[in-house]
Chain A
């Protein structure tokens, strides 16, 4: 390569620097900026960042396909986690008293023994691997006045147990209560599952803990993590006000969950079940051969996003594309106007043929959404009853 120094090198250098400046400016930019946005209330979580679901015996309905993530509101113990953490259930051993979990816990129990002896059982999930196992076990050892031991020693001390169908390590740590001086024992179990570290722990009087150890091991076996189970939601397509750089994130919003249930006449054979937190009511209908359908009722202030948007949303649940035509037929009701839609398709959740009959009731300041959806034959047989049910509602 030949070298030809330029005579106008100074000017070129200025040009060069000006070219490099934007890069330097980019380099100087900080990406750590506060974000402001508005989300549907059910999206905002809150309680499930680290995500363990609280134990529940509630039904385990599914989220409509494409629905934004939802989960329980803070303090509602019977809903699933937005992060998809499985729902945790268990069989409480005899003599254990379940107590409300604290901030860190998803399960908490008290065990009372003779002579006022007590033990405490906790289930604590933490995100990630939450420190090394040895650090956690040594922390427990510190709680009963024992010194730190090496990884090898801990490995030897670990007992293999089963918790919720998967292996876990149990550490039986006996020492003294640093505060009271009495004999104290900890049964600590660590399990890594679903990208989280789960800690099951029984702490208390040494004799009582030893006596309860078999029950504790059985309790671990009884844990059932189930499957991800976001709560059922009926969502009007209203787009709430949004602000900030995340303003565009919303395409749907939750209805008001707090609406009072109207007085209505529930048709014979309908079984009312626990509604998700965003439903006013939910009924299950069973037909011949075990075929099922469900009726969901929800409401929203105002027009709830409008009839067309909600009909399209329902169509989406059956894998149908949005329709530009008006598909609704008017229904006579007292005190307002109502529109009925009826279409068939494939349930996007189950991939089974399904039919949906929906009625949107528009009141002066509120909109109610009634949806009958499920097996086509069941829906056909219940359509009239469904319509009468809607007409019977007194708001």
Chain B
């Protein structure tokens, strides 16, 4: 059984099949972005084991095609298995081994990037300082214990957890949170509006609002604005239901056991042990035109832990890399009064470089391992004075041409 499996997974036909499926998936997924948008298409086609199809009106989904994770994993196993099956140790095969290992590293690195990398945005107005970035699209329900005078304890529950589990019970909180309704994208109005329903909450500023669920945003320049009704459930019973929304500018306060809490639905935050202060932002244009020439942000990086305090210029293709975070110049405010930095946390960012170097060395090794013996033979042949290279004495196209040419010369003479 294992032998048969090994034979299957080490088959070169499987390699071709995976590559073909991969091509189809990339083509299909690219087209799907038109309707689904980039993020949804990425998740459904490439960051999934299977691609599903949902019949119109049905509540179930049918898997119809292997997804990116599936194809990538099979290809990885196939590559390793084929290497084990076909690889012959020896000096001449080191190049092949390096090429294979490089590709394996590329696949593994990409998988790690997909799972470990995190992208967020740091929006700074000129003169502003921040020590956290925010997710572009992910939201979190922040439950903030504001009782203590100096600091606040934050329990940040991802919105996806609330949706998936219908709530959260965290050991750090003396109560449970139940998401009674969660709209991943919504509209909220503070006046009675046609098509909107009254928000039915029992506590806080929710009862004076109307809302409705709207389709998820797919355009790159728009984001979902989630809203939810959550219920706080203590061991003694419910404290009531609250409206939380990305559109509310104030948190929803409540007290329990003589401690003060606030509820807030906000973009997911990623704190850093250092801060960036935007000193100036430049949006240079070519003279006499509105064509952008350069965007740059001069920031002051301050790390109070190690006393580091320095200015850094971030501009296109010149990111700041610091403590595992990379800050790219990504965008800016229309009034040029602020800068938006893309913050990328990617522990495996070096793997593509290593894999490319490995593949490059492997290719070079493999090429030279053929070229050098060939040149040696060629030199040996040309060293045989006056003796035309005999047909077949030198292998390869060049050799064959050489072998033919003297004959022609011979005929001419």
Contacts and interface: CB of A to CB of B under 8 A. Distances in A.
Given A66-B304, A227-B125, A44 B132 contact: no
Given A66-B300, A248-B273, A1 B115 contact: no
A211 interface: no
A212 B273 CA distance: 51
Contacts of A179: 192
B225 A130 contact: yes
A102 B205 contact: yes
A65 B73 contact: no
B154 A128 contact: no
Interface in A60-101: 62-63, 65-69, 74-75, 82-86, 101
Given A1-B86, A48-B249, A193-B334, A68 B223 contact: no
A377 interface: no
Interface residues of B, number: 106
B347 to A, nearest CB: 12
B45 interface: no
Contacts of B277: 63, 65-67
Query: At the interface, is chain B mostly helix, strand, loop or mixed?
Result: mixed
Interface string B136-180: 000010101010111111111110110010001010100000000
Query: At the interface, is chain A mostly helix, strand, loop or mixed?
Result: loop
A166 B219 CA distance: 24
Interface stretch (A5-13, A286-294, A325-333, A386-394): A5-13
Given A74-B262, A128-B222, A39 B246 contact: no
Interface stretch (A110-118, A155-163, A267-275, A314-322): A314-322
Contact of B248 (A104, A253, A258, A321): A104
Interface string B225-260: 100000000000000000000111111010000000
Contact of A104 (B188, B265, B300): B188
B116 to A, nearest CB: 8
Nearest to A139: B193
A12 to B, nearest CB: 5
B335 A41 contact: no
Interface residues of A, number: 118
Interface in B284-306: 300, 302-305
Interface stretch (A24-32, A334-342, A354-362, A367-375): A24-32
A26 B194 contact: no
In the A-B complex, the 7 residue pairs with the smallest Cβ-Cβ separation, listed nearest first, are A66-B302, A228-B125, A84-B125, A49-B266, A10-B2, A128-B223, A251-B304
8 contacts: A19-B80, A23-B76, A27-B73, A47-B251, A63-B128, A84-B338, A194-B333, A255-B150
Given A36-B156, A38-B152, A75-B250, 8 more contacts: A13-B6, A26-B115, A33-B158, A38-B153, A49-B249, A50-B266, A65-B300, A230-B128
